Amino acid sequence: MIRIVLLGPPGSGKGTQASALEKRRGVPHIASGDLLRANVRDSTALGRKVKPYMDRGELVPDELILDMMADRLSQPDAQQGYVLDGFPRTVKQAEALEERLRALSQDLDAVVYLKVPEAEILRRLGGRRTCPHCNAVYHVDTMPPKREGICDKCGATLVQRDDEKPAVIRKRLEVYSAQTQPLLDYYQARGLLREIDGMIGVDNVIREIETIVAAAQAAV
Protein backbone atom coordinates (compact mmCIF):
# COMPACT_ATOMS: atom_id res chain seq x y z
CA MET A 1 0.00 0.00 0.00
CA ILE A 2 1.31 3.47 -0.78
CA ARG A 3 -0.17 6.90 -0.34
CA ILE A 4 1.82 9.62 -2.09
CA VAL A 5 1.43 13.02 -3.71
CA LEU A 6 3.35 13.97 -6.86
CA LEU A 7 4.11 17.67 -7.06
CA GLY A 8 5.72 19.60 -9.88
CA PRO A 9 5.13 22.09 -12.64
CA PRO A 10 3.01 21.33 -15.72
CA GLY A 11 4.86 18.79 -17.86
CA SER A 12 7.23 17.63 -15.09
CA GLY A 13 6.09 14.03 -15.54
CA LYS A 14 3.54 13.61 -12.73
CA GLY A 15 1.04 11.76 -14.91
CA THR A 16 3.71 9.57 -16.51
CA GLN A 17 5.10 8.50 -13.13
CA ALA A 18 1.71 8.11 -11.45
CA SER A 19 0.53 5.81 -14.20
CA ALA A 20 3.72 3.68 -13.87
CA LEU A 21 3.22 3.46 -10.10
CA GLU A 22 -0.40 2.43 -10.56
CA LYS A 23 0.79 -0.50 -12.68
CA ARG A 24 3.66 -1.49 -10.37
CA ARG A 25 1.87 -1.08 -7.04
CA GLY A 26 -1.79 -1.71 -7.91
CA VAL A 27 -3.01 1.53 -6.32
CA PRO A 28 -5.13 3.98 -8.30
CA HIS A 29 -3.59 6.94 -10.09
CA ILE A 30 -5.93 9.78 -9.16
CA ALA A 31 -5.39 12.83 -11.37
CA SER A 32 -7.55 15.88 -10.72
CA GLY A 33 -6.87 17.11 -14.27
CA ASP A 34 -8.08 13.82 -15.82
CA LEU A 35 -11.24 13.88 -13.67
CA LEU A 36 -11.94 17.47 -14.71
CA ARG A 37 -11.32 16.73 -18.41
CA ALA A 38 -13.71 13.74 -18.24
CA ASN A 39 -16.38 16.08 -16.82
CA VAL A 40 -15.73 18.61 -19.59
CA ARG A 41 -15.88 15.89 -22.25
CA ASP A 42 -19.18 14.55 -20.85
CA SER A 43 -20.53 18.09 -20.48
CA THR A 44 -21.60 17.53 -16.86
CA ALA A 45 -22.68 20.46 -14.65
CA LEU A 46 -19.17 20.43 -13.11
CA GLY A 47 -17.56 20.22 -16.55
CA ARG A 48 -19.46 23.28 -17.78
CA LYS A 49 -18.36 25.27 -14.70
CA VAL A 50 -14.66 24.35 -14.87
CA LYS A 51 -14.04 24.58 -18.63
CA PRO A 52 -13.48 28.35 -18.78
CA TYR A 53 -10.87 28.20 -16.00
CA MET A 54 -9.04 25.31 -17.65
CA ASP A 55 -9.13 26.98 -21.07
CA ARG A 56 -7.45 30.05 -19.56
CA GLY A 57 -4.82 27.99 -17.69
CA GLU A 58 -6.15 29.13 -14.31
CA LEU A 59 -6.88 26.93 -11.32
CA VAL A 60 -10.43 25.76 -10.84
CA PRO A 61 -11.91 27.19 -7.58
CA ASP A 62 -11.00 25.16 -4.49
CA GLU A 63 -14.63 24.38 -3.52
CA LEU A 64 -15.29 22.59 -6.83
CA ILE A 65 -12.06 20.61 -6.60
CA LEU A 66 -12.57 19.66 -2.95
CA ASP A 67 -16.03 18.20 -3.57
CA MET A 68 -14.82 16.28 -6.62
CA MET A 69 -11.76 14.88 -4.80
CA ALA A 70 -13.68 13.98 -1.63
CA ASP A 71 -15.99 11.94 -3.80
CA ARG A 72 -13.12 10.23 -5.66
CA LEU A 73 -11.10 9.49 -2.51
CA SER A 74 -14.08 7.84 -0.87
CA GLN A 75 -14.42 5.24 -3.68
CA PRO A 76 -13.59 1.64 -2.65
CA ASP A 77 -10.42 1.41 -4.80
CA ALA A 78 -8.83 4.36 -2.94
CA GLN A 79 -9.11 2.82 0.53
CA GLN A 80 -5.85 0.88 0.21
CA GLY A 81 -3.77 3.81 -1.05
CA TYR A 82 -3.32 6.05 -4.07
CA VAL A 83 -0.98 8.19 -6.10
CA LEU A 84 -2.26 11.77 -6.28
CA ASP A 85 -1.35 13.74 -9.42
CA GLY A 86 -2.34 17.43 -9.63
CA PHE A 87 -3.98 17.52 -6.20
CA PRO A 88 -3.42 19.23 -3.83
CA ARG A 89 -2.47 22.36 -5.72
CA THR A 90 -3.16 25.14 -3.21
CA VAL A 91 -2.53 25.42 0.52
CA LYS A 92 -6.29 25.22 1.10
CA GLN A 93 -6.44 21.91 -0.81
CA ALA A 94 -3.43 20.58 1.14
CA GLU A 95 -5.12 21.47 4.44
CA ALA A 96 -8.31 19.71 3.35
CA LEU A 97 -6.36 16.57 2.43
CA GLU A 98 -4.52 16.67 5.76
CA GLU A 99 -7.80 16.97 7.64
CA ARG A 100 -9.26 14.03 5.75
CA LEU A 101 -6.19 11.86 6.46
CA ARG A 102 -6.26 12.81 10.14
CA ALA A 103 -9.95 11.87 10.41
CA LEU A 104 -9.14 8.45 8.91
CA SER A 105 -5.95 8.02 11.05
CA GLN A 106 -3.94 7.77 7.84
CA ASP A 107 -0.63 9.31 6.75
CA LEU A 108 1.02 10.19 3.47
CA ASP A 109 4.20 8.20 2.80
CA ALA A 110 5.78 11.10 0.95
CA VAL A 111 5.27 14.13 -1.25
CA VAL A 112 7.57 13.78 -4.25
CA TYR A 113 8.59 16.96 -6.05
CA LEU A 114 9.71 16.48 -9.67
CA LYS A 115 12.10 19.31 -10.47
CA VAL A 116 12.30 20.19 -14.17
CA PRO A 117 13.59 23.44 -15.75
CA GLU A 118 11.24 25.62 -17.77
CA ALA A 119 12.94 25.08 -21.16
CA GLU A 120 12.42 21.31 -20.81
CA ILE A 121 8.79 21.82 -19.77
CA LEU A 122 8.13 23.76 -22.98
CA ARG A 123 9.80 21.02 -25.04
CA ARG A 124 7.80 18.28 -23.33
CA LEU A 125 4.41 19.97 -23.55
CA GLY A 126 5.02 20.93 -27.19
CA GLY A 127 5.45 17.25 -28.13
CA ARG A 128 3.02 15.61 -25.74
CA ARG A 129 0.16 13.54 -27.14
CA THR A 130 -2.58 12.23 -24.86
CA CYS A 131 -5.19 9.52 -25.20
CA PRO A 132 -8.63 11.09 -24.64
CA HIS A 133 -10.05 7.64 -23.83
CA CYS A 134 -7.62 6.08 -21.28
CA ASN A 135 -5.43 9.16 -20.47
CA ALA A 136 -2.16 7.45 -21.53
CA VAL A 137 0.59 10.00 -22.21
CA TYR A 138 3.20 9.98 -25.03
CA HIS A 139 5.81 12.29 -26.51
CA VAL A 140 6.36 12.46 -30.26
CA ASP A 141 10.19 12.31 -29.88
CA THR A 142 10.99 10.64 -26.57
CA MET A 143 8.01 8.36 -25.86
CA PRO A 144 6.26 7.78 -29.21
CA PRO A 145 3.42 5.26 -29.54
CA LYS A 146 4.13 2.15 -31.65
CA ARG A 147 1.76 3.40 -34.39
CA GLU A 148 1.90 7.15 -35.02
CA GLY A 149 -1.07 8.98 -33.50
CA ILE A 150 -2.66 5.81 -32.02
CA CYS A 151 -2.78 4.83 -28.35
CA ASP A 152 -0.83 1.61 -27.64
CA LYS A 153 -3.18 0.72 -24.80
CA CYS A 154 -6.66 1.21 -26.24
CA GLY A 155 -6.28 2.10 -29.94
CA ALA A 156 -7.91 5.55 -29.66
CA THR A 157 -6.61 8.50 -31.72
CA LEU A 158 -4.15 10.61 -29.70
CA VAL A 159 -4.79 14.33 -29.27
CA GLN A 160 -3.07 17.49 -28.05
CA ARG A 161 -4.79 18.92 -24.99
CA ASP A 162 -6.73 22.18 -25.31
CA ASP A 163 -4.46 23.82 -22.69
CA GLU A 164 -1.27 23.20 -24.71
CA LYS A 165 -1.35 26.49 -26.63
CA PRO A 166 1.81 28.52 -25.85
CA ALA A 167 -0.09 31.40 -24.16
CA VAL A 168 -2.02 28.96 -21.95
CA ILE A 169 1.17 27.06 -21.05
CA ARG A 170 2.77 30.37 -19.96
CA LYS A 171 -0.27 31.13 -17.81
CA ARG A 172 -0.19 27.64 -16.23
CA LEU A 173 3.49 28.14 -15.34
CA GLU A 174 2.72 31.52 -13.71
CA VAL A 175 -0.18 30.00 -11.78
CA TYR A 176 2.06 27.13 -10.67
CA SER A 177 4.68 29.56 -9.27
CA ALA A 178 2.12 31.68 -7.46
CA GLN A 179 -0.29 29.07 -6.11
CA THR A 180 1.34 25.63 -6.08
CA GLN A 181 5.01 26.31 -5.34
CA PRO A 182 4.10 27.40 -1.75
CA LEU A 183 3.20 23.74 -1.15
CA LEU A 184 6.91 22.91 -1.26
CA ASP A 185 7.38 24.84 2.00
CA TYR A 186 4.15 23.45 3.39
CA TYR A 187 5.28 19.84 2.98
CA GLN A 188 8.92 20.59 3.83
CA ALA A 189 7.71 21.90 7.21
CA ARG A 190 5.91 18.57 7.76
CA GLY A 191 9.01 16.51 6.89
CA LEU A 192 7.27 14.89 3.90
CA LEU A 193 8.90 16.61 0.92
CA ARG A 194 11.37 14.62 -1.22
CA GLU A 195 12.91 16.20 -4.32
CA ILE A 196 13.86 14.28 -7.47
CA ASP A 197 15.69 15.59 -10.51
CA GLY A 198 12.99 15.12 -13.18
CA MET A 199 15.62 15.16 -15.95
CA ILE A 200 17.12 11.72 -15.29
CA GLY A 201 14.80 9.72 -17.54
CA VAL A 202 11.43 8.12 -16.91
CA ASP A 203 12.79 4.77 -15.61
CA ASN A 204 15.31 6.38 -13.26
CA VAL A 205 12.63 8.69 -11.83
CA ILE A 206 10.37 5.74 -11.03
CA ARG A 207 13.28 3.93 -9.34
CA GLU A 208 13.95 7.01 -7.17
CA ILE A 209 10.28 7.25 -6.21
CA GLU A 210 10.24 3.55 -5.23
CA THR A 211 13.36 4.12 -3.07
CA ILE A 212 11.71 7.09 -1.36
CA VAL A 213 8.52 5.14 -0.65
CA ALA A 214 10.47 2.12 0.67
CA ALA A 215 12.48 4.38 3.01
CA ALA A 216 9.33 6.13 4.26
CA GLN A 217 7.59 2.82 4.94
CA ALA A 218 10.66 1.32 6.65
CA ALA A 219 10.77 4.34 8.98
CA VAL A 220 7.21 3.77 10.28
Is-catalytic flag, 128?
Answer: yes
Q: Give the closest residue to 4 by CA, choosing from 90, 109, 102.
A: 109
User: CA of 73: how far to CAs of 41, 78, 108, 175, 180, in Å?
Assistant: 21, 6, 14, 25, 21
Give me the phi and psi of 30, to 5 degrees please: -110, 110
Residue 41 CA to residue 170 CA, distance in Å, equals 24
Question: Least separation, in Å, of the C-beta of 190 and ligand AP5?
Answer: 19
Residue 163 CA to residue 172 CA, distance in Å, equals 9
Active-site residue, selected from the candidate residues 89, 124, 129, 194:
89
- Contacts of 56 by beta carbon, 8 Å cutoff, 6+ apart: 168, 171
Binding site for ligand AP5 (CB under 6 A): 8, 10-16, 32-33, 36, 53-54, 57-60, 65, 86-87, 89, 93, 124, 128, 137-139, 142-143, 163, 172, 198, 201-202, 205
Is-catalytic flag, 89?
Answer: yes
Question: Least separation, in Å, of the C-beta of 218 and ligand AP5?
Answer: 26
Active-site residue, selected from the candidate residues 37, 124, 128, 194:
128
Active-site residue, selected from the candidate residues 115, 161, 165, 171:
161
Is-catalytic flag, 14?
Answer: yes
Is-catalytic flag, 37?
Answer: no
Is-catalytic flag, 172?
Answer: yes
Q: Which residues are catalytic?
A: 14, 89, 128, 161, 172
